[in-house]
A and B are shown apart, each in its own frame.
Chain A
Amino acid sequence: MSNSFLVFKVYSGVYAISTGDIYRIERFDRENVEFNGEVPSFYRVGDYVITLDWLTEAAVSKENLFDPDRLILYRTASKIRGIPVTELQKVETLDEVSSYSLLPRFFRRAKVLSWINLFLTSGERIVPVLNLEKLPEHDFRTADAARKKESV
């Protein structure tokens, strides 16, 4: 893993991605979005159509598609995918990060947070670093609705 991380915001959530995992960053253009019904699921990049990973539980629709500012493109084993980003914040290097923290033990074998590799921590701040191999397995926009039905 690279020693530097790009920290970014998706709505109110703050996340980080290892800079070595980034394929490209481009300006998010809503004209390139393709919908799966009402859900903005795909994005045209040149001749290709890639899948979008929304890091939010909020319902994303045509109305609030103006919010993303950039698109972080990343490459999985076989495909390129994209993360819409509200705000790019900064690149943190190993020296600037107070410490790393692993997932709490409860979650290490659970699927629920498998999209997090580790956390960057600094004081009260906890920033999840994305595990891009697992991220495509999660769709947070539908996860919230599913969980509301769940009874504990």
Chain B
Amino acid sequence: MSKQTNLDDLITRLEEKEKEASIIYADEETEQVVIFELDGALFAFPGRHVIEIVPFESLTTIPGLPPYFSGLITLRGTVEAVINLKFLLGLPAESAVYGSRILFLKYDEQILGGLADVVFDVVSIPKSGIHPPLETLDEKKAEYIIGEFDYRDKQVVLISGAKLFAKITELSKV
């Protein structure tokens, strides 16, 4: 067998493997996720917690608001708090820019907004494709993270809505 044939064979096998990886079998349990970017890295929330995504326009800041909150916003006449995800995840917390989005999350009848640089996609991923987070993960991130999965050759960090709400509730009681 020639070298070229070997190479072609290898490429074909790799392509098939890649195709197989992107196929979700009907009987496989999946999780819908909303993928977004923060400071150049990809993160995701489970889709069941995301109720709305709105363009960032302005936030009202008031004195005494803890630093893990970016501000307040009205969502159909109701004032909701917007959390500073970058601060909570230990990323450099710059102010929001044009094109930023606010993802509104709902958990246990409570609503919170989270500021994201860009919202990329809403996809269903096989639950088997979610790997546990690395043990070397930064302590601040580890508090909220369920696991990681691959998306278009990039690693996406899946954030637990429940853990995030629990942490904010705990911090806000002070």
Contact = CB atoms under 8 A, between A and B. Distances in A.
Contact of A112 (B66, B78, B140): B66
Given A106-B168, A106-B169, A101 B78 contact: yes
A144 B61 CA distance: 13
Interface stretch (B17-25, B29-37, B80-88, B154-162): B80-88
B62 A13 contact: yes
Contacts of A79: none
Interface residues of B, number: 32
Interface string A121-143: 10111101000000000101001
The B interface, classified by DSSP as helix, strand, loop or mixed, is mixed
Interface size, A (range): 35 or more
B57 A126 contact: no
A110 B72 contact: no
Contacts of B145: none
Nearest to A10: B63
A99 interface: yes
Interface string A92-124: 000000110111111101111101100101011
A152 interface: yes
A105 B165 CA distance: 12
B79 A121 contact: yes
A57 interface: yes
A146 to B, nearest CB: 10
A106 B171 CA distance: 10
B64 A113 contact: yes
Nearest to B83: A106
A105 B74 contact: no
A90 interface: no
Given A13-B62, A107-B172, A101 B110 contact: no
A152 B68 contact: yes
List the 7 closest A-B pairs by CB distance, nearest first. A140-B63, A101-B79, A126-B60, A104-B81, A110-B172, A99-B77, A57-B63
